[in-house]
């Protein structure tokens, strides 16, 4: 393979996404992190999940009440960092854990 072809293929490589939390976390455990949030783009394991939170080297699913959802949606659209506090919850599947947001603040 020529150097030009190898460089072309390397340029097309996709960036690896951080791994999604697949190990079930204990229900009620406190969650407190700063990171980026995106609207959830996949098929959630429970209907409450609406956001992906990227912080501390992993991706965590988030569910939030109405007021917090508005803040998280704005942060996702404007690519802003957020400080999330909440508690771990379990969905219907054994490996389905997500954070129920109790507080969210946009950070600088």
CA nearest 24: which of 50, 46, 9? 46
pLDDT of residue 55: 92
Paired strand residues for 104: 84
| Superfamily name with CATH number, domain 18-106 | Nucleic acid-binding proteins (2.40.50.140)
Percent of the residues in the chain that have a pLDDT greater than 70, as a whole number: 79
Q: Measured between alpha carbons, how far is 63 from 68 in angstroms, rounded to an integer?
A: 9
pTM (2 d.p.) = 0.74
* Number of C-beta neighbours around residue 101 at 10 A: 25
| pLDDT for the residue 23 | 60
Average pLDDT, the chain: 82
User: What's the pLDDT tens digit per position in 56-94?
Assistant: 888 999 999 999 999 999 999 999 999 999 999 998 777
The domain ranges of the chain are 18-106
């Amino acid at each position: 393979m020529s150097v030009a072809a190898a460089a072309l293929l390397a340029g097309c490589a996709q960036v690896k996404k951080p791994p999604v939390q697949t190990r079930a976390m204990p229900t009620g455990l406190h969650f407190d992190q700063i990171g980026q949030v995106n609207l959830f783009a996949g098929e959630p394991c429970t209907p409450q999940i609406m956001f992906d939170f990227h912080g501390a080297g992993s991706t965590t699913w988030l569910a939030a009440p109405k007021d917090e959802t508005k803040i998280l949606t704005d942060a996702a659209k404007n690519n802003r960092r957020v400080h999330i506090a909440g508690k771990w919850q379990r969905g219907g599947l054994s490996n389905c854990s997500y954070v129920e947001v109790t507080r969210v603040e946009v950070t600088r």
